[in-house]
Structure 1
């Protein structure tokens, strides 16, 4: 009975889901190709792919709600309530989100990769070391004395950075 009643909606849903799966596959292949060409760690590539999957899933759910007859006014009330709660929560954790967003930006446009020796020009605490890993929240930097420093991604975008030596691990 359910299938007979909603046959058109189910066909449209199958179409939307298959289109989103194709878009997801293309996006993942593109991200992997960019990551491999840039020499990015595979863990970071998988992390960015997860972000894309979550975003596409949310978009698919929104489209599915419209397919099954949800009105814009109904969705507007639901989403405004959800965004109000999320907005308050995000304000409380804005630095974490700032670091995650910076991590995504670093993935696509940071000119240095793991193994490079860099100098971070910070007036109060300049750092010089080898990048061990670039994660979602922070950059792992191994100093010359062996100390491991975790440097927040949002700060690495705000400071001037100099490449001291490319592929310093190989030496």
Structure 2
């Protein structure tokens, strides 16, 4: 055991430092995302979702750094990863909208000018609906919009970014939701 510790002491120290840095970076990222969510008055569920995405990203980066520290032969690992990514790439190409909706959901978290409870009108020529929608929920893949008659529309996040969206009234302007749009 002592021989192992002595011969791999640099790798072990690098691994411990990497884990320490990852914990600190995850903590800072988590605090920053929660603060942005609080300041922007974003629903806690959305904040937790973005926190989960950031944590996954830091974990993947950490595995890459630890692999580099321990001197993993990247040519052999590269063959495995290229095969896996080829399969994933075909699957994502077949359903590219899933990836674009997740990306749009992350972007909307940080820059979305609308909140749950706001009334919006979507300028989409394919939609023949002229009345405004109430934003009920904003998820990773879609936004739940409700018409006055109770009908629910599930609208993809990527289209929410691509189409013009007009704010009819803000939830802070009408806290009880009684304003007619």
Gaps of 5+ in 1: none
1-side partners of 2:69 and 2:87: how far apart?
26
Map Cα deviations across residues 18-50 of structure 1 (whole Å, 9 max, x no partner): 101111111111111111111111001000011
After the TM superposition, list the runs of 4 or more consecutive aligned residues in structure 1 that deviate by more than 6 angstroms. none
Name the structure 2 match of 1:121. 123
Of 43, 46, 58, the match for 2:45: 43
TM-score (norm 2): 0.88
State the aligned residue count: 171
Name the structure 2 match of 1:12. 14
Name the structure 1 match of 2:157. 153
Task: Indicate whether 1:80 and 2:82 are aligned.
Answer: yes
Alpha-carbon deviation of 1:169? 5.2
Higher helix share: 1
Output aligned runs, 1:130-145, within 5 Å.
130-145=134-149
Name the structure 2 match of 1:70. 72
Name the structure 2 match of 1:170. 176
Alpha-carbon deviation of 1:80? 2.2
Greater Cα shift, 121-130 or 134-143: 121-130
Larger Rg: 2
Of 10, 24, 27, the match for 1:25: 27
Gaps of 5+ in 2: none
TM-score (norm 1): 0.93
**What secondary structure is seen at the aligned counterpart in 1 of 2:65?**
helix
